[in-house]
Amino acid sequence: MVRISRACATLALVGATVGVAAVPAGAAPAAARSATATACPTGWGSVAKTDTGATLTPVRDIRTGRHDCFDRMVIDLPGAGGDVGYSVRYVDQLHQDGSGRHIPVAGGAVLEVRVAAPAYDPETGAATYPARAGRPLPGVDLAGYRTFRDTRFAGSFEGETQIGLGVRARLPFRVLQLDGRVIVDVAHSWTATG
């Protein structure tokens, strides 16, 4: 009986040694890999997101940033407070308000971002954001982004500013409102890790 127990223990030890030796030297155990992965938020979905607020405070800047789990676009409206209306949704093509002109946007999918605020001074009509319809957003360089592929300014018509955001694929996104800012985050993937 003692011999059978020793034989089983020896076989178990040999099996464990062979199993460890079969793993390549550079491969980390699954537990170690998952501990170093970034936990990303999930559940944003890809359906349209809207808020009905509005402001006469004009858009002053649009900028982007890279994060571990998502790429971010920020529309700055200093002094607008936290209740700026917006509509963000996936569209087949971007069409300019007023004219209906098609504005090509590169990427696997196109997000139409509308902010219920002008990109001009409502009293004088002077532009407050130096963009031209159909052109990329000024000062935005998307080199190195995992999700964003293109940006296009569609225009500002009847107090609403319209932007096309080209992304790699139809991915989950969220919209946040902070004091004087509307923020659009587009996830790098549908999974919970970055």
Going from the C-alpha of 69 to that of each of 33, 103, 106, 141, 171, the distances in angstroms are: 17, 29, 22, 19, 12
Going from the C-alpha of 154 to that of each of 37, 73, 191, the distances in angstroms are: 38, 16, 31
Residue 47 is classified by DSSP as S
**Run of H or E residues at 33:** helix 30-36
pLDDT of residue 37: 65
Q: Residues 6 or more apart from 47 whose CB is under 8 A from it?
A: 89
pLDDT of residue 123: 93
pLDDT of residue 83: 84
pLDDT of residue 72: 98
Q: Residues 6 or more apart from 160 whose CB is under 8 A from it?
A: 97, 114, 115, 116, 117, 118
Going from the C-alpha of 32 to that of each of 21, 25, 121, the distances in angstroms are: 18, 14, 55
Report the DSSP beta bridge partners of residue 76.
61, 181
Per-residue pLDDT of the chain in tens (194 residues, 90 and over written 9): 445 444 444 444 444 444 444 444 344 444 444 445 678 887 899 999 999 988 999 999 999 999 999 999 999 999 998 889 999 999 999 999 888 999 999 999 999 999 999 999 999 999 999 999 999 999 999 999 999 999 999 999 999 999 999 999 999 999 999 999 999 999 999 987 66
pLDDT in tens, 109-156: 999 999 999 999 999 999 999 999 999 999 999 999 999 999 999 999
Residue 4 is classified by DSSP as H
Q: What is d(CA 119, CA 61) in angstroms, rounded to the nearest whole number?
A: 9
pTM: 0.79
pLDDT of residue 58: 96
